[in-house]
Chains A and B, each alone.
Chain A
Amino acid sequence: MTPFLAIRDLRTTFHTRQGVVRAVDGVDLDVMPGECLGVVGESGSGKSVTFLSVLGLVKPPGRIESGQIRFDGRDLARLTPTELRAVRGRDIAMTMQDALTALNPALRVEEQIVETILAHDRLPRLAARSKALDMLRLLGIPDPERRIRDYPHQFSGGMRQRVMIAIALACRPRLLIADEPTTALDVTIQAQVLDLIAAMRRDLGMSVVLISHNLGVVAEHCDRVALMYAGQVVETGPTRAIIDRPRHPYTQGLLRSMPVLSDLDRPLVPIPGQVPSLVDLAPECRFLPRCGQAAPECRREIPLLSMGEAHAARCIRVAA
């Protein structure tokens, strides 16, 4: 099957006073039609920047240095601003990490959803409005006729998240990029929102990229998982394979640091150390300083090594 979205060797940097921050450094990712891909990694690993790059939303001092973003037979990195605008929101939609800051505080929800529809469809205003109401209803927002007149700050955190998702889905995109849709929410609401996204994916037949800190959340909802570390994909594969046979020490560490319902007495082991600075990276495995299994061979650039079954990891132990 050909991928729906194929990211190849994407490099995005930020030119800061401290030096060049290599936020995304040679990322390859595929999203298949209808699938849910989970992208997991610690804070600062480059998850958001990768997908902001896909939509051409990286702002100065950041810029895409190189790479391909193939979507629908086109390279998104080569599109003109007008062409790109037609893709955003219509073919690929994205939700932001925090709905409170992503929604404009000065505009009514009605305007923020209707403008999205009108940006892509030639519709009378009233038709766009009723489409907007349908969307809010679909996402389980009570009394949408009244709530659509409200401003974002008048909603609760969970409802605000739903509003943002409603806006993103308003044009029935073929791919939804959900950037940590649940981080700002409490646990019960988290589950509701994730189930909602899963339901939307089924109903609208779209693909989803679910970005998260939490491997557990991703494992539950995604067909495939990609783990990111310091701007690179360090392991990728079918969810089952990753959970059952993690090959990268980082993935293994994440799994050890995750609470497991069936075994609540198991001690949680956090990964010691911290993510390296993304400025002046040495040509070696980026996880080396934190790795318990490091060897002298790790002091070189290590490619993603395949283990079959579309399972690959960026670790010398794969070859062994």
Chain B
Amino acid sequence: MSPLRLAERLLQLIPVLLGITVIVFFMMSLTPGDPVELMLGDARATPELRESLRRDMGLDKPVHERFVLFLGNAASGEFGMSFHHRRPVSQVIWERVPATVELTLASMTIALVAGILLGVLAAVRRDGWIDRVATVTSLVGVSMPGFWFGILLILLFAVTLGILPASGRIDYAGEVPFVTGLLLVDTLLAGRLDSFLDALRHLILPATTLGLAMAALLMRVTRSAMIEALAQDYVTFAEAKGLSRARILFRHALKNALIPTVTAAAIETGTLLGGNMIVETVFGWPGLGRLVVEGIFTRNYPLVQAAVLLYAITYVLLNLCADLLYATFNPRVRL
């Protein structure tokens, strides 16, 4: 795609993002009850304190003014104070983003690698034992609730076998200087192999839990797309040219089979974002998902608002990425 076309696609995102902002804003202002009361809960506060809080949050102004204000602030990444943390919301959120990004990327990697490899294997050895096992596993994987699978993994690997940690990102002793916030990267940058392995061990269970459903789905999509691709004339022609089996499978058939797989992966990534909240809570993972869950329980509205907006923007951008990928795999599509 040309840079011009890309710019056009990005411009098209503006109305979408604006719409999302409107929804997020009104979702909060339409919540019944006085946000200040809700936030303070049972805490004892003087009327003066309530008043000043109300003014700080801009709640004394009419709704349209508040919206313009919110829009301006949101554009500059400013979402007010997190009452609970006594720090700006943006700061609290940004701290948690790397952990979630790391977990999501890890589970996507697991899902893509496992899903595609098993899908290809199942298609090639159609109706063989790999196919049967993979099909049953994926059925279970798609229908099993994430939190339940997570708890099973904890019971087996952390409690019974004691070989993997049940919660957290890294042992206290293994902490490394902050560079990217992704521990797998930072530990390597610091040259600390022990910490790297420790971070990896912490990551395995939550990433597997989060990636399971996506892996199962991608496996099924890849399998049927591969079966279809392998029956096409271009595969027979590729064989007639004397190409190797590997080249026919992984270049000719898979390049076509990945078109539906990529689409499914993009849709499923949205589910991953939601799954984060559950998995991070089960595994005590200090990421954005758990922050949001905590924010909801503590009625931390500015924080939830900002997080929802961030999730929505991420989702929209992911969809754009998926479209771009789709076009790469399918040259007949002109974006």
List A residues at the B interface (Cβ < 8 Å): 52, 55, 57, 59, 81, 85-90, 93-98, 101-108, 115-116, 119-120, 151, 153, 164, 167-168, 171
Contacts and interface: CB of A to CB of B under 8 A. Distances in A.
Given A107-B252, A115-B247, A101 B242 contact: no
Interface in B230-250: 231-234, 236-245, 247
Contacts of B73: none
B244 A119 contact: yes
B44 interface: no
Given A104-B252, A105-B332, A106-B330, A88 B239 contact: yes
The 4 closest A-B pairs by CB, nearest first: A89-B242, A88-B242, A101-B233, A102-B237
A313 to B, nearest CB: 31
Contacts of A102: 233-234, 236-237
Interface residues of B, number: 24
Contacts, number: 85
B241 A119 contact: yes
Contact of A107 (B236, B251, B259): B251
12 contacts: A52-B236, A59-B236, A95-B237, A97-B233, A98-B233, A102-B233, A105-B256, A105-B331, A107-B252, A107-B255, A115-B243, A168-B241
B256 A104 contact: yes
B234 A89 contact: no
B329 interface: yes
Contact of B242 (A90, A108, A153): A90
Contacts of A86: 242
Given A101-B233, A115-B247, A89 B252 contact: no
Interface string B317-330: 00000000000011
Given A101-B234, A104-B252, A104-B256, A57 B240 contact: yes
- The A interface, classified by DSSP as helix, strand, loop or mixed, is mixed
A55 B244 CA distance: 14
A264 to B, nearest CB: 37
A106 B330 CA distance: 6
Given A88-B239, A96-B233, A106 B331 contact: yes
A85 B234 contact: no
A128 to B, nearest CB: 13
A85 B242 contact: yes
Contacts of B251: 107, 115
A79 to B, nearest CB: 12
A106 B255 contact: yes
